[in-house]
């Protein structure tokens, strides 16, 4: 297929020029879990539909459930039909199904991988996968050690190996270092792919294109022209049956430690010398290292109570199934962060994330300085707002720039208007799911959108400092109603500086 044919094929839009990985076997640990059903298999189907999987390819699912190959294939077919973004096509599913196998293993007990290794060796012969392996660990951190140890002992001398590790990567800095040490006993850093699905989102990647492919933005991307930055990751959902995990994680470990700090790093990073994995990640690490440890008064935490979300009455966090009625787990976090380097000194980054908020919204907002002396200020139809660049990550993916413009008619009347770019309208295609891009990149060995061990450790250093400050007080939870935008203290945090949270 020529590049022109690729460009004209709507199935391939959104994933760039066609790239096909080497022959390989993808092994999914935790193959009967919710992540596999909702994300991983629908992503594999989407890649198959776009002919982006290698011709010589196999999938092996493994979990504790006792299933036959056919039973597992039936389950995954239902998952693809329910959660896939593409229409189900029998001619796409049939070869993918035939390449899918299942092995029952119990991770909680001593792991014996003989059945798995035997199957992988057989698939090398039958499907020509050449000993190339992608191991996807869609399992809790407690199950990782026996799996990694077993895989390390049975490494093949032929082919390459890649290990995809789902978050959370540790619970604090110490546990993250222990996981890294465990992994690097058997795998090199170049073989470990720590997944953060936010980095696979097209609009997050567009931050790099927006800044470094447009000559108008980078010269003003600094403290001299930017007043402050706001990053919002808002959810309308509650814990949705994940209370066991969320009680141990909270908002700070579930969203802030990974997604939010990665968004800050991408927004604040210096231009890399090229777009290879290490060049991009080196610049992100510099941002994290330059981040000032926030003071206790610059961090707000909250927990939702009962209320109404999108017209529906919902319970408070402590009334959710599986949650301690006296739980002190935060479901909301807001913070004022500073990056102490030449570009960003004294420019605040206001970040907030929470569950059961008024609207689902993930946005990066760049608030520019006010014009120093607008001669038409008295003729403005409203208070003329400073220029604002909004990057909408989800759900309405796109970019918006607020500017002052003259109102048609006599006289000079100024009003703030928006110049909008929406992905759906510009490219006439549905955006690929993050997992499609990330699984494909792991097969290709491209680590650009995966976090490196030093990134993870810097992120945990910041989280540990915040959590240590929390140990000295006991907040009055719940402190915001479901359907609100968070606790009053979050508004006070930004209002102390004479600013407001954006209600976009």
The catalytic residue positions are 259
Q: Residue 352 pairs with which residues in a beta bridge?
A: 232, 334
Would you call the peptide bond into 395 cis, given omega within 30 degrees of 0 as the criterion? yes
- How far CA 292 is from CA of 214, 263, 378, 421, 466, in Å, comes to 29, 16, 40, 34, 11
In three-state secondary structure terms, 104 is strand
Q: Do 75 and 144 meet the contact criterion of CB atoms below 8 Å apart?
A: no
* Alpha helices per DSSP H over 408-482: 423-427, 434-444, 453-470
Distance CA 225, CA 488 (A): 30
**Region at 274 (left for phi over 0; alpha for psi -120 to 50; beta for the rest):** beta
Name which of 454, 430, 451 is nearest 442 in CA terms. 451
Q: What b/e readout covers 204-234, taking b as 16+ CB neighbours within 10 angstroms? A: bbbbbebeeeeeeeeeebebeebbbbbbbbb
Distance CA 83, CA 489 (A): 38
Within 10 angstroms of residue 383's Cβ, the number of other Cβ atoms is 7
Name which of 420, 335, 39 is nearest 200 in CA terms. 39
Distance CA 278, CA 275 (A): 8
**Long-range CB contacts for residues 176-180, cutoff 8 Å, separation at least 24:** 176/456, 176/457, 176/460, 177/457, 179/141, 179/144, 180/453, 180/456, 180/457
Tokens 């599986």 correspond to what residue? Answer: 322
In three-state secondary structure terms, 225 is coil
For strands 304-305 and 414-422, give the pairing.
Answer: unpaired
Q: Do 438 and 200 meet the contact criterion of CB atoms below 8 Å apart?
A: yes
Tokens 């295609």 correspond to what residue? Answer: 429
In three-state secondary structure terms, 249 is helix
Tokens 């504790």 correspond to what residue? Answer: 64
Name which of 282, 212, 299 is nearest 475 in CA terms. 299
């Amino acid at each position: 297929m020529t590049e022109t044919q690729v460009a004209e094929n709507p199935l391939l839009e959104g994933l760039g020029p066609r790239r096909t990985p080497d022959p390989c076997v993808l092994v999914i640990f935790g193959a009967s879990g919710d992540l596999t059903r909702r994300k991983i298999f629908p992503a594999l189907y989407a890649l198959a539909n776009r002919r982006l999987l290698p011709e010589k390819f196999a999938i092996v699912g493994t979990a504790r459930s006792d299933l036959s190959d056919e039973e597992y294939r039936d389950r995954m077919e239902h998952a693809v039909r329910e959660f896939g973004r593409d229409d189900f096509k029998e001619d796409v599913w049939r070869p993918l199904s035939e390449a899918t196998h299942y092995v029952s293993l119990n991770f909680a007990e001593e792991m014996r991988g003989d059945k798995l290794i035997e199957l992988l060796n057989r698939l090398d012969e039958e499907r020509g996968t050449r000993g190339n392996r992608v191991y996807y660990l869609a399992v809790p951190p407690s199950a990782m050690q026996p799996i990694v140890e077993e895989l390390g002992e049975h490494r093949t001398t032929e082919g390459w190996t890649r290990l995809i590790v789902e978050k959370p990567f540790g619970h604090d800095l110490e546990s993250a270092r222990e996981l890294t040490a465990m992994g690097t006993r058997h795998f090199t850093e170049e073989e470990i792919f720590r997944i953060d699905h936010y980095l696979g989102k097209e609009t997050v990647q567009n931050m790099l294109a927006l800044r470094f492919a447009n000559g108008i933005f980078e010269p003003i991307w600094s403290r001299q022209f930017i007043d402050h930055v706001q990053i919002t990751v808002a959810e309308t959902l509650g814990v949705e049956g994940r209370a066991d995990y969320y009680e141990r994680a909270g908002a700070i470990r579930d969203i802030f430690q990974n997604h939010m700090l990665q968004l800050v790093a991408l927004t604040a990073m210096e231009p890399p010398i090229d777009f290879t994995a290490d060049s991009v990640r080196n610049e992100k690490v510099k941002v994290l290292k330059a981040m000032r440890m926030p003071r206790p008064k610059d961090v707000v935490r909250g927990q939702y109570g009962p209320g109404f979300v999108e017209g529906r009455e919902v319970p408070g966090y402590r009334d959710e199934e599986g949650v301690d009625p006296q739980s002190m787990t935060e479901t909301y976090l807001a913070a004022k962060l500073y990056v102490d380097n030449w570009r960003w000194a004294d420019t605040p980054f206001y970040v907030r994330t929470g569950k059961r908020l008024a609207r689902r919204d993930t946005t990066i907002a760049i608030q520019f300085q006010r014009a120093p002396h607008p001669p038409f200020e008295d003729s403005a139809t409203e208070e003329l707002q400073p220029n604002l660049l909004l990057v909408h990550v989800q759900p309405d993916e796109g970019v918006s720039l607020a500017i002052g413009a003259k109102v048609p008619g006599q006289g000079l009347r100024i009003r703030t208007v928006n110049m909008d770019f929406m992905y759906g309208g510009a490219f006439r295609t549905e955006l690929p799911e993050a997992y499609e891009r990330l699984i494909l990149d792991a097969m290709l060995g491209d680590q650009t959108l995966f976090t490196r061990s030093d990134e993870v450790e810097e992120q945990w250093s910041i989280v540990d400092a915040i959590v240590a400050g929390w140990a000295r007080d006991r907040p009055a939870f719940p402190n915001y109603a479901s359907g609100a935008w968070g606790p009053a203290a979050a508004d006070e945090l930004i209002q102390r500086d004479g600013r407001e949270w954006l209600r976009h």
